[in-house]
Amino acid sequence: MHFISADDLDRLYTFPAVIDALGAAFAAGVNAPLRHHHTIEHEGGLDQTLLLMPAWSKAVTEGHIGVKIATVTPDNGKLSLPAVMASYILMDGKTGAPQALIDGTRLTLWRTSCASGLAARYLAPSSPETLLVVGAGELAPFLARAHASVRDYKRIVVWNRSAGNAEKLAASLIEDGFDASATTDLDDAVGKADTITAATLSPVPLIKGELLKPGTHVDLVGAFTPKMRESDDDCIRRASVFVDTIEGASKEGGDIVQPIAAGVMTVDDIRADLHALTTGAHSGRASDDEITLFKSTGAALEDLAAAILAAELAA
């Protein structure tokens, strides 16, 4: 059995390769039950979440079985640790024999950012200038680089509740050759951005739909529970809404769950999921002025596809 570390993944992966692997998996489909979602109460702190995410190939005797075990601990930021910690076990589909134990924390960063990159292939404006990154956690630099691998941005702007962390992320992006800067004025940055990618654990909307200019693409990656939210109702009203999976987004993502509960939208208002986009059943962005919104809640399919790719590259 292979042991594939975070450093191994960074060495093996490229953003285009992972995006391609996810695209092929969404087009083909896998068996992936809705993830098991358990709340672990922490006295004196924020609740922790335990996630169990199984998936297996449709032709399992010729494919793979995999499961990710993950925890989301919001208070980890106080300890300078990532909020998401995970391990991934990849198994032979025919025998169930373990094939690889993979650093699931790093796997999650790669596959999550690349799912947003995959959606952006179909939904982001064709000639954008400004990418706005909302949030400066562990996922943020991966999202910035995934989006930059799909479109040629002239500048990247970073906003975070802690201005210091925004400045640190901007500095790291500058080191990689990007024209990057930090801002403390989120509303101003939202109004100027061509693409917005958000990865926060915010319980209240951060992105105001009334400020979006025509043609903006909004990529919502955080707010993974019904009680969290990164966008307001105006974003939903003004945008063509897309999701990674309809079942996951309509049951778990607050940016979709809350507007449905409030009567702002229905499930039928979701234009398409990544399966429809990757198979050509939906063509994606319809015009230069269309505002598009993609809600990512994470899918076990993404983990399985990324894990199979890692195992193949490591062999």
Nearest CA to 220 among 314, 312, 291? 291
Checking if the pLDDT of 153 tops 90, the result is yes
Phi/psi of residue 222, nearest 5 degrees: -80, -150
Per-residue pLDDT reduced to its tens digit, 92-146 = 999 999 999 999 999 999 999 999 999 999 999 999 999 999 999 999 999 999 9
Q: In which element (H, E) is residue 168 found?
A: helix 163-175
Instruction: Concatenate the DSSP letters of all residues of 1-60 into one string.
Output: -EEE-HHHHHHH--HHHHHHHHHHHHHH--B-PPPEEEEE--TTSPPEEEEEEEEE-SSG
At 247 the pLDDT is 87
Q: Residue 227, Cβ neighbours under 10 Å: how many?
A: 9
At 108 the pLDDT is 93
At 41 the pLDDT is 92
Residues of the chain above pLDDT 70, percent: 100
Q: 301, 58 in Cβ contact below 8 A?
A: no
- List all residues 6 or more positions away from 294 whose beta carbon is below 8 Å from its beta carbon: 116, 119, 120, 123, 217, 218, 219, 220, 242, 243, 244
pTM of the model: 0.92
Dihedral of CA 8/146/173/229: which sign?
A: negative
- Separation between Cα atoms, residue 31 and residue 61, nearest integer Å: 13
- Separation between Cα atoms, residue 123 and residue 34, nearest integer Å: 25
The average pLDDT across 66-88 equals: 90
Domain range 123-298, CATH class: alpha beta
Q: Residue 131, Cβ neighbours under 10 Å: how many?
A: 28
- List all residues 6 or more positions away from 271 whose beta carbon is below 8 Å from its beta carbon: 240, 241, 242, 282
- Separation between Cα atoms, residue 61 and residue 74, nearest integer Å: 39
Per-residue pLDDT reduced to its tens digit, 168-227 = 999 999 999 999 999 999 999 999 999 999 999 899 999 999 999 999 999 999 998 899
Checking if the pLDDT of 7 tops 80, the result is yes
Checking if the pLDDT of 235 tops 90, the result is yes
Give the chain's largest Cα–Cα span: 55
Domain boundaries, the chain: 2-107+301-314, 123-298
Amino acid identity for residue 271 in this structure: R
At 34 the pLDDT is 79
Q: 134, 199 in Cβ contact below 8 A?
A: yes
The average pLDDT across 25-36 equals: 89
Nearest CA to 25 among 301, 271, 209? 301
At 203 the pLDDT is 93
CATH architecture of 2-107+301-314: 2-Layer Sandwich (3.30)
